[in-house]
């Protein structure tokens, strides 16, 4: 009897460990935490102000990989990044999700009693409403970035102000956490994609990751009644599970849509190949955006 | 032989013509144009700074109706308003789409040659990139609102600045249009919903509108493989056309989704009733958000 080798766990960090990984935001952003989860503590990151610049940096070879948020369990998809996935023609090679924990952070010497203003991104301020209801003496001040608000406080050192950001931001800028986990809703996760250039080595097919594979693709249907239903039949009739579907407007064809779809399976598996072939018969356009180990 | 009466065209303005209609933005916003298209030139509008306040004003009876944008052909859905539709439990009673025409607008006395700065909402500035490429001497200045930028220029009267906004904004604030239709892409439309309280009279069933009826609903599927496919079968198997499907995250159940769906048909039609009954068997939750004459 042959012994079956235990399949290797896929490690997306196949290349040079010193490569740069692009993300959007300031150092200490949740994207940096996602990069750590995906590529390990020694990951070398490079922040960019805008998502488009992150995609451009990867496309041009300025960095070796990029980590971008794609959806949040409270706010929904990051639609801008769906559009960039289509336009930049990069490859999704991994995914992970990060629990969004908001902490009240201040420069050393500032205690909670002294705080009268809290700076953060408007979304983060809005996710900590219970904290502000309990502290009516504190004013909310919108700022362009969560981690950026910690950076600014450490530079300007006001003695009555704090920020809301990740624990990693406090650590990076040398600030103190006054209160941990002040977010209203703990079911707050953001899903991130790890991207590489399409010519970079794809994950090895034979090594089965712990939670199986996921494939992301984008397609347009013919503008006919029932066309989305028929497109989904390519997956449903083969018992392939969809985990996400997202519609985006199709430029130049008002009221028609692109569909972004994630399903559980590996593109090189014969069943998935048949599903994609079937979808190809029904769709006007189809492109696989990546096939990657399903994240936690 | 009986002569068949020509069906009346549905007029959503069934009530008091003097009623107030809420919209988000400053006077002169595209939402105001949508309100005119839906309710006629004599419509009395009331602007609110935020979408949530628009929904709240209608819910509380402060206004009789509300007009809100739901999707744009370049940018996609206005997801915040999808969430409000679910939470405020109002009724969609009409829809219309407005072509987004951006005009360069300045106070009287300011000519195009003098313009060095252009104020507008960042989205509008980004939709006129060809104009800015042709005029490298002009700086783009982000402002909170399109119509609001015209209002501000008319108050402050700088002699080197213009705004990008609708023609109606120029008219309202007494400004001049320096250049019409400077938007890059003419396939730029925004779809708006007309909302009323649920106890208000629904459109009469017998009067068939010119382009037929549309129904909007929201549902959640059981979290099982193939559940979205089976849900859509309720419509596809009855030849009911879907015109839109949108997924939104389900709060408290990470990575599960609400689906907002529009289909062509009237909820009181027996075929539609059967489709909704069928969907009810498959869905965890279903709510009809409105049934209204299909817009242009």
Query: Average pLDDT in the A43-49 region?
Result: 95
pLDDT confidence of residue A225: 86
Residue B61: CB atoms within 10 A of its CB come to: 8
Chain B contact for A240 (CB, 8 A cutoff):
yes
Residue A229 annotated as catalytic: no
Q: What is the full DSSP assignment across A3-72?
A: PPPPPPPP-S--S-TT-EEEEESSTT-HHHHHHHHHH-TT-EEEEESSHHHHHHHHHHTSSSEEEEEEEE
Rounded to whole angstroms, what are the CA distances from A36 to A44, A54, A168?
9, 17, 11
Cβ-contact B15, B64 below 8 angstroms: yes
- To which H or E segment does residue A2 belong? none
Instruction: Write down the mean pLDDT value for chain B.
Output: 90
Which bin fits A179, alpha (ψ -120 to 50), beta or left (φ > 0)? beta
CA distance B226 to A233: 9
Tokens describing residue A249: 């407007």
Using the Cβ of A204 and the Cβ atoms of chain B, whether some distance falls under 8 Å is answered with: no
Burial of A189 (0-12, 13-18, 19+ CB in 10 A): middle
Phi and psi at residue A125, to the nearest 5° = -60, -40
Report the pLDDT averaged over residues B73-93. 92
Contact A226 B248 (CB under 8 A): no
Q: What are residue A95's DSSP bridge partners?
A: A193
Evaluate if residue A266 carries a pLDDT over 70: yes
Cα distance between residue A39 and residue A18, in whole Å: 11
d(CA B106, CA B285): 51
Note the pLDDT of residue A123.
86
**Chain A residue at shortest CA distance from B238:** A226
pLDDT surpasses 60 at B32: yes
What is d(CA A81, CA B174) in angstroms, rounded to the nearest whole number?
Answer: 40
pLDDT per position as a tens digit, A18-27: 689 999 999 9
- Average pLDDT of span A65-74: 94
Nearest CA in chain B to A99: B254
How confident is the model at residue B6, as a pLDDT?
41
Is A253 part of the contact surface with chain B (CB cutoff 8 Å)?
A: yes
Please report the pLDDT score of residue B16 as a whole number: 52
b or e along A243-265 (b: 16 or more beta carbons within 10 Å of the residue's beta carbon)? bbbbbbbbeeebebbbbbbbbbb
For residue B246, list chain A residues with Cβ-Cβ distance below 8 A.
247
Q: Does B79 touch chain A (CB under 8 A)?
A: yes
Alpha carbons B260 and A279: distance in angstroms, whole number: 23
Q: Do B189 and A73 touch (CB under 8 A)?
A: no
- Model ipTM value: 0.82
Q: Which domains does chain A carry?
A: 20-100+188-196 (3.40.190.10), 103-179 (3.40.190.10), 213-293 (3.30.70.260)
Evaluate if residue B87 carries a pLDDT over 70.
yes
Contact A248 B185 (CB under 8 A): no
Cβ of B257 and A244 within 8 Å?
yes
* B230–chain A nearest CA distance, Å: 9
Q: Using the beta-carbon criterion (under 8 Å), do B75 and A242 form an inter-chain contact?
A: no
Checking if the pLDDT of A6 tops 70, the result is: no
**β-strands B103-106, B176-179 pairing:** antiparallel
What pLDDT is stored for residue B88 in this prediction?
Answer: 96
| SS3 at position B170 | helix
Measured between CA atoms, the residue of chain B closest to residue A231 is: B229
More confident residue, A157 or B5: A157
Q: Could you tell me the CA-to-CA distances from A139 to A116, A191, B4, B52, B112 in Å, in that order?
A: 6, 30, 66, 21, 43
A265 φψ region: left (φ > 0), alpha (ψ -120 to 50), beta (else): left
Report chain A residues whose CB lies below 8 A from the CB of B253.
187
Kindly state the percentage of chain B with pLDDT values over 70.
92
Query: Which pLDDT value is given to residue A10?
Result: 41
Q: Looking at the predicted structure, is the pLDDT value of residue B12 above 70?
A: no
pLDDT category at B202 given cuts 50, 70, 90 is low
- Give percent helix, percent strand, percent coil of chain B, each to the nearest 5: 30, 30, 40
Name the token pair of B269.
């039609």
Q: Identify the pLDDT of residue A165.
A: 96
In this model, does residue A119 exceed pLDDT 60? yes
Which residues of B fall within a CB distance of 8 Å from A255?
73, 189, 191, 243-244
Q: What are phi and psi of A263, to 5 degrees?
A: -135, 160
d(C-alpha B242, C-alpha A127), whole Å: 34
The torsion region of residue B109 among left (phi > 0), alpha (psi -120 to 50) and beta comes to left
Contacts of B154 (CB under 8 A, 6+ apart): B107, B173, B174, B175
Q: Which of B55, B88, B131, B190 is catalytic?
A: B190
Cβ–Cβ below 8 Å for B239 and A245: no
- The model's pLDDT over B270-294, given as tens digits with 9 standing for 90+, comes to 999 999 999 999 999 999 999 999 9
pLDDT at B5: 42
Torsion on CA atoms B57, B63, B65, B71, rounded to nearest 10: -40
Distance CA A193, CA A69 (A): 6
The per-residue pLDDT for A74 is: 86
Whether this model's pTM surpasses 0.90: no
Q: Is the pLDDT of residue A7 over 90?
A: no
Is the model more confident about B51 or about A17?
A: B51
What are the pLDDT digits (tens) for B172-193?
999 999 999 999 999 999 999 9
What are residue A192's DSSP bridge partners?
A69, A96
Q: Do A247 and B246 touch (CB under 8 A)?
A: yes
The DSSP H or E segment spanning B140 is strand B139-142
Q: Is A126 on the interface with B (CB under 8 A)?
A: no
Instruction: Evaluate if residue B18 carries a pLDDT over 80.
Output: no
Who's near B148: CB < 8 A, 6+ residues apart? B25, B26
- Comparing CB atoms, the residue among A187, A191, A254 nearest residue B73 is A254
Question: Is there a contact between A181 and A187 (Cβ–Cβ < 8 Å)?
Answer: no
- Mean pLDDT on A116-126: 93
Contact A112, A163 (CB under 8 A): no
Q: Which helix or strand (DSSP H or E) is residue B262 part of? A: strand B257-264
pLDDT (tens digit per residue) in B224-241: 889 999 999 999 999 999
Supply the pLDDT for residue B17.
44
Q: What token pair was written down for B38?
A: 């839906």
Q: Write the CA distances from A276 to A201, B228, B289, integer angstroms.
A: 22, 18, 35
Chain A: nearest CA to B153, how far in angstroms?
Answer: 25
Q: Residue B111: what are its φ and ψ, rounded to 5°?
A: -100, 165
In the prediction, which pLDDT does A201 show?
Answer: 65
C-alpha A160/C-alpha A81 separation (Å) is 37
The 8-class DSSP code of residue B104 comes to E
User: Is A190 among the residues known to form the active site?
Assistant: yes
Continuous segment of H or E residues that includes residue B99: strand B91-99
pLDDT digits (tens, 9 = 90+) for B100-159: 999 999 999 999 999 999 999 988 998 999 999 999 999 999 898 999 999 999 999 999
What average pLDDT does the segment A290-295 reach? 94
pLDDT-above-70 percentage for chain A: 92
pLDDT digits (tens, 9 = 90+) for A183-203: 999 999 999 999 999 977 655
């Amino acid at each position: 009897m042959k012994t079956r080798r235990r399949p290797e766990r896929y490690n997306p960090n196949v290349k040079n460990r010193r490569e740069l990984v692009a993300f959007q935001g300031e150092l200490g952003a949740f994207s940096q935490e996602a990069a750590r989860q995906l590529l390990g503590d020694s990951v070398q990151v490079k922040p960019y102000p805008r998502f488009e610049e992150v995609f451009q940096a990867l496309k041009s070879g300025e960095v070796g990989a990029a980590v971008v948020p794609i959806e949040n369990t409270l706010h929904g998809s990051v639609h801008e990044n769906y559009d960039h996935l289509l336009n930049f023609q990069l490859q999704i090679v991994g995914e992970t999700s990060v629990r969004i924990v908001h902490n009240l952070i201040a420069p050393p010497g500032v205690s909670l009693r002294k705080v009268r203003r809290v700076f953060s991104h408007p979304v983060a301020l809005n996710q900590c409403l219970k904290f502000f209801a309990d502290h009516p003496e504190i004013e909310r001040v919108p700022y362009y970035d969560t981690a950026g608000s910690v950076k600014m406080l450490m530079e300007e050192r006001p003695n009555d102000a704090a920020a809301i950001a990740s624990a990693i931001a406090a650590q990076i800028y040398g600030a103190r956490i006054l209160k941990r986990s002040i977010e209203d809703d703990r079911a707050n996760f953001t899903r991130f994609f790890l991207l590489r250039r399409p010519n970079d080595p794809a994950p090895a097919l034979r090594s089965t990751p712990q939670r199986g594979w996921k494939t992301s693709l984008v397609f347009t249907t013919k503008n006919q009644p029932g066309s989305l239903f028929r497109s989904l039949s390519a997956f449903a009739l083969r018992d392939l599970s969809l985990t996400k579907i997202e519609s985006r407007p199709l430029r130049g064809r008002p009221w028609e849509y692109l569909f972004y779809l994630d399903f559980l399976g590996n593109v090189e598996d014969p069943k998935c190949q048949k599903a994609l072939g079937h979808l190809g018969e029904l769709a006007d356009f189809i492109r696989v955006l990546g096939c990657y180990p399903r994240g936690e």
